[in-house]
Chains A and B, each alone.
Chain A
Amino acid sequence: AQKVTQAQTEISVVEKEDVTLDCVYETRDTTYYLFWYKQPPSGELVFLIRRNSFDEQNEISGRYSWNFQKSTSSFNFTITASQVVDSAVYFCALSRALNTGNQFYFGTGTSLTVIP
């Protein structure tokens, strides 16, 4: 079975602080995809990153960086120098590599509040 755990329910940081959102996943598949999405108050899920199980290279995009470690089944997300606009709920998700379509397994989300 597939499962994603985001142990941090809510995090508050002061603007310009760095913050790391944790994600731990479970799957028996050897091929799978991992994702991070941001959900602002407007409701839509905004895609941030996708990683496949064979690509453990860490990635940096501006103030965002992701650390994928298969050995610990973790895919953590760090925001450097946080800003108020980063306030949102962040979801980590896992999907099996199905040729017949998608089925995301989402974590329960981490609500991030950046205090000015």
Chain B
Amino acid sequence: KAGVTQTPRYLIKTRGQQVTLSCSPISGHRSVSWYQQTPGQGLQFLFEYFSETQRNKGNFPGRFSGRQFSNSRSEMNVSTLELGDSALYLCASSLALGFDYGYTFGSGTRLTVV
């Protein structure tokens, strides 16, 4: 079966712009989480959505937002991009909340802000 699909794979944006990243979970999975990976800060949790509701949120500014659609696909938006937002953004999907269901990660979207 298809894995977690993240689009686009690569993205270059200019400082001050906004960007939207997409994550399509494994079919049947209802939970989608987002993580930011940078060389300096490592992997950091952004937020998790389940049944179109944000269930958990990490310590990121309000410029980072997300949403989940009824088909469980999720989008993450970053407004007013800063150079420090350059990172690999990973999403992970799960059948439901809780680790008994396991989490499968996508290959990520590499965002470069210039």
Chain A residues packing against B (C-beta within 8 Å): 33, 37, 42-47, 50, 91, 93, 95, 97-109
Contact = CB atoms under 8 A, between A and B. Distances in A.
Interface in B73-114: 88, 90, 92, 94, 97-99, 102-108, 110
Give the 9 A-B residue pairs with the shortest CB-CB distance, closest first: A106-B43, A45-B105, A101-B55, A44-B107, A101-B97, A43-B108, A43-B107, A101-B48, A101-B56
Contacts, number: 68
A102 B33 contact: yes
A106 B42 contact: yes
A108 B105 CA distance: 17
Contacts of B43: 91, 93, 104, 106, 109
Main secondary structure of the interface of B (DSSP, over half): strand
Nearest to B57: A103
Interface of B: 3-4, 31, 33, 35, 42-45, 48, 50, 55-56, 58, 88, 90, 92, 94, 97-99, 102-108, 110
A110 B98 CA distance: 26
Contact of B99 (A43, A45, A100, A102): A102
Contacts of B44: 106
A108 B44 CA distance: 10
A101 B98 contact: yes
Contact of B103 (A42, A97, A102, A107): A102
Q: Which has the most chain A C-beta neighbours within 10 Å: B102, B103, B110? A: B103
A102 B104 CA distance: 13
Given A43-B107, A44-B106, A102 B42 contact: no
Given A101-B98, A102-B99, A102-B103, A45 B90 contact: yes
B103 A47 contact: yes
B54 to A, nearest CB: 9
A97 to B, nearest CB: 8
